[in-house]
Amino acid sequence: MTQAAFFVLTALADQPRHGYGILREVEDLSDGTVQLRVGTLYGVLDRLTADGLIVLDREEVHEGRLRRYYRLTGEGTAALDAEAERMAAGASAAKQRIAEGRRAPGAATRPTTDNPGLAGGLA
Amino acid sequence: MTTLLETRYRSVLRLLPAYYRSAREEEMVEVYLWDVDRDTQDQSRPTLGEVASVAALALRSRLAAAGAPRPYALFGSVVRHFALFAVLLQAAATVADRVLSLTWSSTHGRGQWDMFLSGFTGRGTLGVVAVAQWILPLLWIAGFFALLHERRALARAAVLLAALPSLWPLFGPLVSDVVTADLWFAAATALLAWLPALALCAAYHRDAPPATLPVGTPGLVLTACSVVMGGSLVLLPAMADAAWAPATGFVLGALAWLLLRNRRTDSAGSGGAAALAALGLLLLAVRLAALYLWLGVPVPTAFLGGALVQAGALALLVVVLALVARRDLAPR
């Protein structure tokens, strides 16, 4: 699952949203690091719809313009849940490795550039 | 009242195919204009990034996006088949050429080997260009395997780099003392390299189905094609020019494809005939351009006869493939 698809599914996890609402929610969820363009958003929405992960919830007309609201399907919720589990497991493994690295003997006294290298040089 | 900004966004959205616009245009315009102050809308324009994202969506929706109507799905299938077959042809031609030139140079005495090396050494910048022209086309092989193993980013990078040397005969004269005498051949060869590379980049997008060969494994098919092309050079050296091996490989490969297609009962092969017809047309252009070089020059009859027979076979195959494609792609 791409990062864009993950954030779009996450944006729809709590309630149906329309296109602009999804863009803003994705930006908030990612602390501004993911800013989808409209063309990209609709490419993702097409793909998620075709995969059966989201569906059209309802349509509204505001000031003569069309708003479509999308929501997660059961399959979409399951896919998002599985992806979140996978990412959490990866993050947990990374944290564990970092902690083990810090506890390893000599971890705090790694050779610096002031010390000779294996070949005895200073490069 | 429609503002200038809305008109501009609608103009950008005209890049999208009609089916997509009718389904999405109003919704997308609403998203674009959501938080733009109406008073400033006449002074604003769509950003380059927004235009680029719509252009990318337009390309994807024309080349079989999810839920695209049949004509677009077929067009995407044709472009993907074209890219796959053409990259296979380029990869096999590269294998045959490099294996034969290395074998010949290394088994015919010191003189031949020195002559082979002299093509790369002692020529300054042109030597670097010669090395790049020898090595970069090997990336067609990497691109072929990467494509069939679903490493699409790698495949895209590999084929774009592999196609680069074909530009040297066209643009080299602008930056060096190199002279290109055979401009038509150089142009046809560049088209044969760049059209497949660009087709691969455009058509094998994220939503596109995986690339699959009609028969065999990637290694087996590439080996078979390389052996056919290399064999055509070894068995008929009197007829060999730059177009001989790829054109022979294509003629035999396309005939094999036509024989095998009747065994397929699914629709996965839709677009294969049209793709092969397009590739055959490109090869015919290369074949004729290679022949054009010898106009007015006395050449052995065997060479001229072989080239003309090959051109005739290519033309006939293109017609047959076009007829098959017409039947395959007809509305149902």
- Residue A6: its chain B contacts at CB < 8 A? none
B276: number of Cβ within 10 Å? 28
A96 pLDDT higher than 50: yes
Domains of chain A, start order: 3-102 (1.10.10.10)
State chain A's mean pLDDT as an integer. Answer: 85
Per residue in A14-26, pLDDT tens? 999 999 999 999 9
Residue of B3, B15, B27, B50 for testing the chain A interface, max A β-carbons within 10 Å: B27
Residue A121: predicted pLDDT: 44
Residue A119, CB-side half-sphere exposure with 13 Å CA sphere: 3
Residue A20 at interface with chain B, using a CB cutoff of 8 Å: yes
Cα distance between residue B325 and residue B22, in whole Å: 29
Cα distance between residue B186 and residue B166, in whole Å: 7
Residue B265: predicted pLDDT: 56
Residue B189: predicted pLDDT: 93
SS3 per-residue string spanning chain B? CCCHHHHHHHHHHCCCCHHHHHHHHHHHHHHHHCCCCHHHCCCCCCCHHHHHHHHHHHHHHHCCCCCCCHHHHHHHHHHHHHHHHHHHHHHHHHHHHHHHHHHHHHHCHHHHHHHHHHCCCCCCHHHHHHHHHHHHHHHHHHHHHHHHCCCHHHHHHHHHHHHHHHHHHHHHHHHCCCCCCCHHHHHHHHHHHHHHHHHHHHHCCCCCCCCCCCCCCHHHHHHHHHHHHHHHHHHCHHHCCCCHHHHHHHHHHHHHHHHHHCCCCCCCCCCHHHHHHHHHHHHHHHHHHHHHCCCCCCCCHHHHHHHHHHHHHHHHHHHHHHHHHHHHHCCC
Q: How confident is the model at residue A105 (pLDDT cuts 50, 70, 90)?
A: confident
Report percent pLDDT > 70 for chain B.
Answer: 96
Asked if B57 and A20 come within 8 Å (Cβ–Cβ), the reply is no
Asked if A19 and B29 come within 8 Å (Cβ–Cβ), the reply is no
A73 pLDDT higher than 90: yes
pTM: 0.80
Residue A15 at interface with chain B, using a CB cutoff of 8 Å: no
Residue A66 at interface with chain B, using a CB cutoff of 8 Å: yes
Asked if A42 and B32 come within 8 Å (Cβ–Cβ), the reply is no
- Residue B35: its chain A contacts at CB < 8 A? 20
Residue A122: predicted pLDDT: 42
Positions of chain B with pLDDT under 50:
none
Residue B230: predicted pLDDT: 92
Residue A18: predicted pLDDT: 94
Per residue in B68-96, pLDDT tens? 788 888 888 999 999 999 999 999 999 99
A123 pLDDT higher than 50: no
Residue A41 at interface with chain B, using a CB cutoff of 8 Å: yes
A66 pLDDT higher than 90: no
A118 pLDDT higher than 70: no
What are the φ and ψ backbone dihedral angles of B133, each rounded to 5 degrees?
-70, -25
Residue of A17, A38, A65, A69 for testing the chain B interface, max B β-carbons within 10 Å: A38
